[in-house]
């Protein structure tokens, strides 16, 4: 089994199967932020708040702590062995080839479908701006334009994604600044706004502890994407140093943006506001409207359009690199590991955009309902975030002991090992069990579980077939050798 660290330029490899090394720390940081901050924060957070009330901030806090621990574990493994496959490669080393194969393909499936979803959302926003043009046309156009970005040199791609993600960061920073002014009455605010909203309208936890548990399950999915930094780090110079810096900065920035903005929203908007949980409305937009910001609808539409475009590009990058890693390890067709002279895994990039293009094309068939098809497919990704976190925890548990036994230096250590790792494992398993008893999440568990079983079965078939071919070749060589000796 072979893995790569991509430390050499592609020109040094005759068959061009090595990645570039042109990404910088600021690229890695923004790419990770780009993957995790999207419509789930700007729009989806409103429905979570309407379900659990002000206590939603506790759900986001718990989700943030979980991500901090997962990123610390992943950072420990990544600094010891930087690899484009990240947790998929570490799962193969620590748990077994079947684990790396399964989680790698599940992760690729998640991001390919997310590309299709983000392209569809972008199409809806543009159609809202220009209703004379069909959603289908805008979805296809945005999908094509955003896919082109990943054919650029990785340095240019990193710059493009940096500026796209920076727009989101500026928007959230401005929102937090405005929210702080409003909370402390330095911005005009209604009578009910401010810290009083935390306990008004039925209390801090108006729907009980059960609603908080349900909200927590939803929140944990929102943070998936922070791990992209460990995937992209293999395309940077001195990947170990870059991982340490980017991991530390990504964690606190994401927690600040998520937890800080959610806290301000529950302070400024009554949780039972009928518009807060309205589909497509969004917590950010409603907050700006209550603060009297002119053009709040158009401002947030622009921010969300930029956000979903950034997420699309980040998802496409992640898909192609995971597919490249799977090919390098023999778990995907070998052609997918080939790169252009600029280090772009061209065939992996093309293969990863097939799903997004397919969904965009479906929009033009009136007899089909692409939104329903996409919703059904997205159900198969419902608990992939938790599965990724669980695999990271189990892999770190085994790899840490292996590294210590080998006397290897561990640059970034997990805190309170192994107890915090055990705690994370127990927490995730309990969450998965609880999801089976919650009507809203049961279909996600069953659908994702079914998808995982299909991939495991495919992995067993592929690996057994490869092993059979290898044995057959050995038998042929052994037979040829025996014949040669007999003739001699």
Task: Look at residue 488 and tell me whether its pLDDT is greater than 60.
Answer: no
Residue 5 lies in a domain: no
Q: How many residues in total does the chain contain?
A: 488
Task: Look at residue 482 and tell me whether its pLDDT is greater than 70.
Answer: no
Name the pLDDT band for 9 (thresholds 50, 70, 90): very low
Average pLDDT over residues 418-434: 93
| Cα 294 from chain centroid (whole Å) | 33
The HSE-up count of residue 358 (CA atoms within 13 Å, CB side) is 12
**CATH number of the domain bearing residue 146:** 1.20.1740.10
Q: What is the pLDDT of residue 357?
A: 86
**Tokens of residue 274, six digits:** 């009928």
Average pLDDT over residues 105-109: 93
Average pLDDT over residues 443-458: 88
**303 and 171 Cβ atoms separated by less than 8 Å:** yes
Q: What is the pLDDT of residue 35?
A: 66
Residue 134 lies in a domain: yes
Residue 484 lies in a domain: no
In the chain, what percentage of residues exceed pLDDT 70? Answer: 90
Average pLDDT over residues 423-428: 95
CA dihedral 237, 163, 342, 25 (to 10 degrees): 0
Average pLDDT over residues 50-68: 90
Name the pLDDT band for 367 (thresholds 50, 70, 90): low
CA separation for the pair 267, 287 (Å, rounded): 10
Residue 483 lies in a domain: no
Per-residue DSSP letters for 314-369? HHHHHHHHHHHHHHHTTSS-GGGG---TTS--HHHHHHHTHHHHHHHHHTT-TTS-
More confident residue, 32 or 361: 361
More confident residue, 411 or 263: 263
- 69-83, 193-207, 449-463, 471-485: least confidently modelled range: 471-485
Residue 485 lies in a domain: no
Per-residue pLDDT tens over the stretch 117-166: 888 889 989 999 999 998 888 988 999 888 888 777 777 778 888 888 88
Residue 16 lies in a domain: yes
Q: What is the pLDDT of residue 477?
A: 61
Average pLDDT over residues 20-49: 77
Q: What is the pLDDT of residue 13?
A: 39
Q: What is the pLDDT of residue 6?
A: 39
Helix (H) / strand (E) containing 136? helix 135-149
Q: What is the pLDDT of residue 363?
A: 73
SS3 category, 186: coil
Domain count, the chain: 1
More confident residue, 188 or 325: 325
Residue 488 lies in a domain: no
Q: What is the pLDDT of residue 117?
A: 87
Which residue range forms the structural domain that includes residue 239?
Answer: 10-478
Residue 327 lies in a domain: yes
Task: Look at residue 319 and tell me whether its pLDDT is greater than 70.
Answer: yes
Most confidently predicted of 96-100, 162-166, 343-347: 96-100
Q: Is 451 exposed, middle or buried (0-12, 13-18, 19+ CB in 10 A)?
A: buried
Per-residue pLDDT tens over the stretch 224-275: 888 888 888 778 777 788 778 777 777 777 778 888 999 999 999 999 999 9
Q: What is the pLDDT of residue 33?
A: 72
- Provide the mean pLDDT of the chain: 83
Task: Look at residue 212 and tell me whether its pLDDT is greater than 60.
Answer: yes
The HSE-up count of residue 290 (CA atoms within 13 Å, CB side) is 28
Average pLDDT over residues 43-55: 89
Average pLDDT over residues 283-290: 91
């Amino acid at each position: 089994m072979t893995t790569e660290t991509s430390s050499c330029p592609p020109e040094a490899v005759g068959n061009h199967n090595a990645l570039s090394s042109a990404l910088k720390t600021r690229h890695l940081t923004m790419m990770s932020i780009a993957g995790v901050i999207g419509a789930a924060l700007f729009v989806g957070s409103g429905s979570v708040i309407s379900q659990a009330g002000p206590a939603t901030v506790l759900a986001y806090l718990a989700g943030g702590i979980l991500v901090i621990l997962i990123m610390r574990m992943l950072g420990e493994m990544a600094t010891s062995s930087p690899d484009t496959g990240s947790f998929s490669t570490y799962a193969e080393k620590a748990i077994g080839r079947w684990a790396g194969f399964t989680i790698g393909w599940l992760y690729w499936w998640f991001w390919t479908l997310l590309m299709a979803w983000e392209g569809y959302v972008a199409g809806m926003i543009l159609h809202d701006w220009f209703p004379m043009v069909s959603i289908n046309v805008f979805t296809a156009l945005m999908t094509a334009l955003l896919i082109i970005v990943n054919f650029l040199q990785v340095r240019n791609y990193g710059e493009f994604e940096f500026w796209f993600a920076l727009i989101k960061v500026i928007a959230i920073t401005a929102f937090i600044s405005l929210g702080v002014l409003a909370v402390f009455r330095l911005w005009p605010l209604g009578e009910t706004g401010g810290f009083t909203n935390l306990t008004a309208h039925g209390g801090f936890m108006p729907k009980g502890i059960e609603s908080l548990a349900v909200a927590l399950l939803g929140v944990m999915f929102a943070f998936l994407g922070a791990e992209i930094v460990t995937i992209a780090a293999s395309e940077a110079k001195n990947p170990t140093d870059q991982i340490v810096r980017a991991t530390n900065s990504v964690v606190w920035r994401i927690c600040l943006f998520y937890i800080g903005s959610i806290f301000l929203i529950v302070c400024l908007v009554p949780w039972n506001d009928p518009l807060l949980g309205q589909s497509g409305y969004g917590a950010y937009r409603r907050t700006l409207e209550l603060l009297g910001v002119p053009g709040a609808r158009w401002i947030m539409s622009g921010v969300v359009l930029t956000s979903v475009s950034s997420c699309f590009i980040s998802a496409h990058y992640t898909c192609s690199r995971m597919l490249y890693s799977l090919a390098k390890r023999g778990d995907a067709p070998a052609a997918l590991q080939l790169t252009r002279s600029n280090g772009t895994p061209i065939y992996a990039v093309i293969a990863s955009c097939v799903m997004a293009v397919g969904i965009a094309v479906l929009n033009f068939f009136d007899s089909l309902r692409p939104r329903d098809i996409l919703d059904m497919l997205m159900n198969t990704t419902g608990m992939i975030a938790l599965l990724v976190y669980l695999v990271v925890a189990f892999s770190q548990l085994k790899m840490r002991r292996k590294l210590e036994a080998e006397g290897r230096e561990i640059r970034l250590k997990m805190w309170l090992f192994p107890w915090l790792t055990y705690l994370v494992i127990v927490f995730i398993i309990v969450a998965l069990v609880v999801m089976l008893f919650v009507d809203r999440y049961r279909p996600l568990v069953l659908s994702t579980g079914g998808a995982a079983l299909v991939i495991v079965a495919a992995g067993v078939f592929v690996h057994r077939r490869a092993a059979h071919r290898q044995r057959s070749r050995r038998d042929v060589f052994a037979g040829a050798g025996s014949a040669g000796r007999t003739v001699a």
